[in-house]
Structure 1
Amino acid sequence: MARIAYVDGRYLPITAASVSIEDRGFQFADSIYEVLKRINGRLIDADRHLARLRRSLGELQIAQPCSEAALLRIVQETLARNALKDALIYIQVSRGAAPRNHPFPASTRPTLVVTVRRLSLPSQLEREQGAGVVTAPDQRWGRCDIKSTGLLPNVLAKQEAQQAGAREAWLVSGEGTEAVVTEGSSTNAWIVDAAGVLRTHPATPAILGGVTRSVVLELARAEGIAVEERAFTLGELAKAREAFLTSATSLVLPVTRIDGRPVANGMPGETTRRLMACYAERCGLPAHR
């Protein structure tokens, strides 16, 4: 069955769907996006994703293309037309089409695109043995808290990771062992430090406030795990007891190799495994999946 997309009021086969060549999302990356997942027919944390979408639109002064209730109906209809029970949902909103000029046009209608595809989660091998990451310079703009489609630095970092045989790149600001890890190219970065404290970069404009990140912070505190939203350095990363990453599609995934070197004993740690199980339960997944 051909995949079906929603584009500005129409449901079309992916191969027939298009937007204007003068759409500002294409011309300037003047657009935002949001990614949700559906597991066993249930949207996971949709309210948090829609709140972040609303915030990103507000920060860029892009009008909402429709009400949130209408957007959810569009998402559900797109899912139904693609007959997917477990799915990844991609929502993109641009400022709209206008003659190419840098300032905001006086009046445009936002462009709304919704696509879905089958959800792919980390393999059992990755969950059991952990993933590898590489470190790379953080070359992104200063408003990473906005979920903008301007992702070229992220793409380059992810490509560097892939060419090194790693799953992800953790982005680093500064030089030497005091350089700070901000986040991954498409994930948030975490460690359990030498003192046993779970740490992740605070929610500042230097990172995207991940929805999965916010959930894991709540789960950790509910489990009685000591948590600090405080940046960690490469020096601290080298001494960490555990490391993991989070995102909508990676869930909670152990990181056991960084730049080819093992994290601690090179296996997922106790805190990571606890949070993997807690998050899986929240999503309605078996803990071993």
Structure 2
Amino acid sequence: MSRTVYVNGEYLPEAEATVSIFDRGFLMADGVYEVTSVLGGKLLDFDGHFARLERSLRELDMACPVTKDELLAIHRELVAQNGIDEGMVYLQVTRGNPGDRDFSFPDPATTPSTLVLFTQSKPGLADNPTAKTGIKVISIEDIRWGRRDIKTVQLLYPSMGKMMAKKAGCDDAWMVEDGFVTEGTSNNAYIVKGGRIITRNLGTDILHGITRAAVLRMAAEAQMEIEERPFSVAEAQAADEAFFTSASAFVLPVVEIDGEAVGTGAPGPVAARLREIYLDESRKTAV
């Protein structure tokens, strides 16, 4: 069955959806994106995703083509038209089509942005069996550009990192810069030692994860101790637990790093509890 997608004000069958070959998102990766999870037909953390979208656009001197209320309505319409119970809504804004290829970009007031959204149905998203078994990661050098806090569509190296992990018989990769873990290919990274949750502090070198913010807030409310600082691969291998967070995976335990078991080599209680809390609270606040 063909999905209904959204392109610049129109709801279209996916086979009829097109953008210009001169769109700067296609030619220059000049765009940003967000992914909002859907559980029970409702959107998780929509406010946070919109706030980050606005920030990413502002950092790149791009205009937001719709209001928050308009974007929420588009999300809801796509979820309804495609019958999404569990899954995701992908949103992408690019600088649009200035008329020809040029490194210099036009004034945002003169060139309309391109806005595209589509849904992905993911039955069983909340009951991911990997949450009970954990995942294995490898470490790779972080050679991305310096503004990783902007959620751009420049995803070639993270994609290559996932393929490196797959080739090594693992599930994902954690990136390392100057001896310290920055983040995963599409997630924020954490370790647990002595009951304390340790994760890299915010800056321009990691994405300001929406799920990260929610999980840390919920952990603090549950009176868990949190320390925001860099950690090394060796420290992670010696930790009691490790896990990652993302909008599409929520909280998933990491049980092996570069072939070394983390803790007992099985998912730990902190990650399991945080996943439980996050899913419970997110369902209550979903829109």
Question: What is the TM-score normalised by the length of structure 1?
Answer: 0.93
Q: In the aligned structure 2, how far is the partner of 1:238 from the partner of 1:191?
A: 9
**CA deviation after TM superposition for structure 1 residue 122, in Å:** 6.9
**CA deviation after TM superposition for structure 1 residue 206, in Å:** 0.4
Per-residue Cα deviation, 1:15-62 (whole angstroms, up to 9, x for no partner): 221100000000101100011011112211100000000100000011
Q: In the aligned structure 1, how far is the partner of 2:21 from the partner of 2:14?
A: 17
Partner of 2:82: 82
**CA deviation after TM superposition for structure 1 residue 165, in Å:** 2.2
Per-residue Cα deviation, 1:111-152 (whole angstroms, up to 9, x for no partner): 000100103527654111211111111011000000000111
Q: In the aligned structure 2, how far is the partner of 1:204 from the partner of 1:279?
A: 24
Match of 1:109 among 107, 112, 115: 112
Unaligned runs of 5+ in 2: none
Q: How does 1:272-283 map to 2 (within 5 A)?
A: 272-283=271-282
Amino acid at match of 1:250: A
Does 274-283 or 110-119 show the bigger shift? 274-283
- CA spacing shift, 1:278–1:123, aligned 2, 3 Å: closer
Is the partner of 2:283 in helix, strand or coil? Answer: coil
Is 1:3 paired with 2:3? yes
Is the partner of 1:78 in helix, strand or coil? Answer: helix
Q: In the aligned structure 2, how far is the partner of 1:122 from the partner of 1:86?
A: 8
Partner of 2:91: 91
Aligned residues: 280
Q: How does 1:4-153 map to 2 (within 5 A)?
A: 4-98=4-98, 99-106=100-107, 107-119=110-122, 121=125, 124-153=128-157
Q: In the aligned structure 2, how far is the partner of 1:237 from the partner of 1:128?
A: 20
Is 1:226 paired with 2:233? no
Runs of 4+ in 1 over 6 A off after TM superposition: none
Amino acid at match of 2:234: G
Q: In the aligned structure 1, how far is the partner of 2:126 from the partner of 2:83?
A: 22
Is the partner of 2:175 in helix, strand or coil? Answer: strand
Q: In the aligned structure 2, how far is the partner of 1:197 from the partner of 1:272?
A: 12
**CA deviation after TM superposition for structure 1 residue 80, in Å:** 1.7
Amino acid at match of 1:27: L
- The question of whether the paired residues in 2 share the 8 Å contact of 1:37 and 1:119 is answered with no
Is the partner of 2:277 in helix, strand or coil? Answer: helix
- CA spacing shift, 1:123–1:72, aligned 2, 3 Å: closer
Q: In the aligned structure 2, how far is the partner of 1:259 from the partner of 1:16?
A: 44
- The question of whether the paired residues in 1 share the 8 Å contact of 2:237 and 2:261 is answered with no
Amino acid at match of 2:262: V
- The question of whether the paired residues in 1 share the 8 Å contact of 2:126 and 2:279 is answered with no
- The question of whether the paired residues in 2 share the 8 Å contact of 1:239 and 1:264 is answered with yes
- CA spacing shift, 1:77–1:124, aligned 2, 3 Å: closer
- The question of whether the paired residues in 1 share the 8 Å contact of 2:255 and 2:261 is answered with yes
- The question of whether the paired residues in 2 share the 8 Å contact of 1:170 and 1:181 is answered with yes
- The question of whether the paired residues in 1 share the 8 Å contact of 2:135 and 2:256 is answered with yes
Q: In the aligned structure 2, how far is the partner of 1:225 from the partner of 1:4?
A: 43
Match of 1:167 among 171, 174, 179: 171
Is 1:253 paired with 2:252? yes
Partner of 2:243: 244
**CA deviation after TM superposition for structure 1 residue 233, in Å:** 1.0
Q: In the aligned structure 2, how far is the partner of 1:153 from the partner of 1:122?
A: 28
